[in-house]
C-alpha cells in the first residue's frame, strides 16, 4: 500500500485556494492514492465536495464532547458530517498554544474514534526535551491512548516540535530510531503495529529520502502542503 501523504493547512490556505489546488491534483496526480488534506473546520465541506474521491478530507482538531455549551468548538460528529474522514489530534500547536494536555487529547481520540473518524495522533518532544524523548513520547502515547479499545483507526505522527516550521529536519538516523521506539512501545503495550508518520519541515527536496526510511509509513506536511505542486511532488516521491 502506498504511504500516507497528509497535508495540514493549519490556518493558512483559504476557501479561494481550494479550486486551484483540486484542479492541479486532478490533472497531475493520476494513480496517486492515500492523499489526505486537513483543512480548517469551516472549509471541510467545500474541500470534501470539491475533491470527492481524489483526496480524503481531514479536520485539524475537534472537541471531546458530543455536544453542549462549548462556544466556538466543533464536535467529532460535526466534523464527520461535514465530510471529513480524518482528524488530527494532539498537534504540538494545540498542546503548546491552547494548553491541551494528554487527558484532553485522550478524550478527543475516544470521541473521534466513536464517530468512525481516523485519528492522526501527534506526539513529539521539544528541543529542551530532546535528550529524554523516550519518556516524553511514552507519556504522550500511553496518556493519549489510555482506555482506547480499538486502535485500528489510529495513526501516530511523530513531529519533533523543534522541526516544525523551522526548516530543521530530524536526521534520517533519528527518524528511524524514534519511529522504531514508537513502534516497539505500541507493540509492547497494545500488541499492534500502528502506522507512524513523520512531520517537521518535510518538503519536495527531502521527502524521497524520508519516505524511503524503515518504519516511516507516511508524512505529515505543513508549509509545503499549501501549494498543490509541492504536495503532489512529495506524493510522487513515494515511488
Residues 157-196 that bind ligand 13P (CB under 6 A): 159, 164-165
Catalytic member of 91, 93, 125, 179: 91
Residues 75-134 that bind ligand 13P (CB under 6 A): 91
Write the CA distances from 21 to 38, 39, 136, 140, 168, integer angstroms. 13, 12, 37, 34, 26
d(CA 146, CA 143): 5
Catalytic-residue membership of 63: no
Candidate segments 12-20, 107-115, 125-133, 198-206, binder of ligand 13P by CB under 6 A: 198-206
The three cell numbers of residue 239 are 515511488
d(CA 60, CA 171): 26
Nearer to ligand 13P, 137 or 202 (CB): 202
Candidate segments 65-73, 79-87, 140-148, 218-226, binder of ligand 13P by CB under 6 A: 218-226
Nearer to ligand 13P, 102 or 159 (CB): 159
Candidate segments 127-135, 175-183, 199-207, 228-236, binder of ligand 13P by CB under 6 A: 199-207
Q: Select the residue interacting with ligand 13P from 75, 201, 207, 237 (CB under 6 A).
A: 201
The three-state (H, E, C) secondary structure of 94-125, written as one string = HHHHCCCCHHHHHHHHHHHHHCCCEEEEEECC
Q: Is 218 a residue that touches ligand 13P (CB under 6 A)?
A: no
Burial per residue of 116-137, b for 16 or more beta-carbon CB atoms within 10 angstroms, e otherwise:
ebbbbbbbbbeeeeeeebeebb
Which residues does the annotation mark as catalytic?
A: 91, 159
Binding site for ligand 13P (CB under 6 A): 8, 91, 159, 164-165, 199-202, 220-224
Amino acid at each position: 500500500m502506498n504511504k500516507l501523504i497528509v497535508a495540514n493547512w493549519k490556518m493558512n490556505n483559504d476557501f479561494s485556494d481550494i479550486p486551484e489546488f483540486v484542479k492541479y491534483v486532478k490533472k497531475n496526480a493520476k494513480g496517486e492514492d492515500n492523499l489526505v488534506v486537513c483543512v480548517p473546520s469551516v472549509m471541510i465541506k467545500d474541500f470534501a465536495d470539491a475533491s470527492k474521491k481524489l483526496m480524503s478530507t481531514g479536520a485539524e482538531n475537534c472537541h471531546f464532547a458530543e455536544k453542549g455549551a462549548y462556544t466556538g468548538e466543533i464536535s467529532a460528529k460535526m466534523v464527520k458530517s461535514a465530510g471529513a474522514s480524518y482528524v488530527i489530534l494532539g498537534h504540538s500547536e494545540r498542546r503548546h498554544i491552547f494548553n491541551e494536555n494528554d487527558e484532553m487529547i485522550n478524550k478527543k481520540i475516544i470521541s473521534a474514534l466513536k464517530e468512525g473518524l481516523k485519528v492522526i495522533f501527534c506526539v513529539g518532544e521539544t528541543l529542551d526535551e530532546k535528550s529524554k524523548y523516550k519518556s516524553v513520547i511514552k507519556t504522550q502515547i500511553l496518556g493519549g491512548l489510555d482506555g482506547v479499545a480499538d486502535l485500528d483507526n489510529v495513526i501516530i505522527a511523530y513531529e519533533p516540535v523543534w522541526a516544525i516550521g523551522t526548516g530543521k529536519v530530524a536526521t534520517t538516523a533519528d527518524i528511524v530510531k524514534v519511529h522504531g521506539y514508537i513502534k516497539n512501545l505500541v507493540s509492547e503495550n497494545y500488541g499492534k503495529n500502528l502506522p507512524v508518520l513523520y512531520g517537521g519541515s518535510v518538503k519536495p527536496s527531502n521527502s524521497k529520502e524520508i519516505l524511503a526510511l524503515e518504519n516511516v509509513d507516511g508524512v505529515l506536511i505543513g508549509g509545503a502542503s499549501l501549494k498543490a505542486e509541492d504536495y503532489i511532488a512529495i506524493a510522487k516521491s513515494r515511488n
